[in-house]
Amino acid sequence: MEFIAPELLAYCENHTTQEDELLLQLTRETHAKVMMPRMLSGHLQGKTLELLVKMQKPKVILEIGTYTGYSGICMARGLDEHGKLITLDINDEIAPMVRDFFKKSGLEDKIDYRLGNAVDIIPTIPEHFDMVFIDADKANYINYYNLVVDKMNPGGIILADNVLWSGKVLTEEGKKIDKDTKVILAYNKMVNDDPRVENVLLPIRDGIMLARKL
């Protein structure tokens, strides 16, 4: 998932505003208690999201894929007093842990945490979005994009995580491509070809596709 040398990654982290105790605790508990802790957004991506929110000043953010709440807390911290985050996840087993950390963050009033299938929930949300962060099952990435792109306010941004897919997007002739990689390749091409947005693929962590609605 990491695409730069460990020494350079450490240098980047050491020159990024440090995580506070709450985020460090959330990271520790995720690694200790939850399967696939590598799904955690982590220090660099979390601070990137927080700063993007502070610069974008969104009123409504939609997060598709809460996981243990690290990215949600980071984005909620960037919101102004009138902003809110709607965050969706299908895993109710870790919901008590997520709610506990949202409460500890002091941001409960800004976070609307909903459990269920995002494909079903998104069409029921009346608000238009200023920012969307897609970080859920890869099979539905294209579905999620299609559900939100026409609900984006002009200038709003759609962020999709894992679009480099541990380097698997660099396919080799004759090599078998797995199902998730095919979806990521199709997603990246679709966004790049979509005249409704302008986009940049950022090599942060496992790759973030940033698309701005025109």
Domain count, the chain: 1
Structural domain includes residue 59: yes
Distance CA 132, CA 149 (A): 9
Per-residue confidence (pLDDT) for residue 173, from 0 to 100: 73
Structural domain includes residue 180: no
Determine contact, residues 117/123, Cβ cutoff 8 Å: no
- Beta strands of the chain (E only): which ranges? 60-64, 84-89, 111-115, 129-134, 152-161, 197-202, 208-213
Q: What pTM value is reported for the model?
A: 0.96
Structural domain includes residue 186: no
For 112-136, what is each residue's pLDDT tens digit?
A: 999 999 999 999 999 999 999 999 9
- 145 residue type, one letter: Y
Helix, strand, coil percentages (3-state) for the chain, rounded to 5, are: 50, 20, 30
Per-residue confidence (pLDDT) for residue 1, from 0 to 100: 62
Residue ranges making up the domain that contains 120: 6-156+191-213
The CATH code of the domain that includes 199 is: 3.40.50.150
Cα–Cα nearest to 63, from 94, 84, 92, 33: 84
Structural domain includes residue 166: no
Per-residue confidence (pLDDT) for residue 5, from 0 to 100: 84
Distance CA 200, CA 208 (A): 8
Q: What is the mean pLDDT of residues 2-30?
A: 92
Residue 73 belongs to what H/E stretch? helix 70-78
Distance CA 41, CA 174 (A): 33
For 151-180, what is each residue's pLDDT tens digit?
A: 999 999 999 999 999 989 998 777 889 999
Measured torsion, CA atoms of residues 13, 133, 209, 91, in degrees rounded to the nearest 10? 90
Residue 172 belongs to what H/E stretch? none
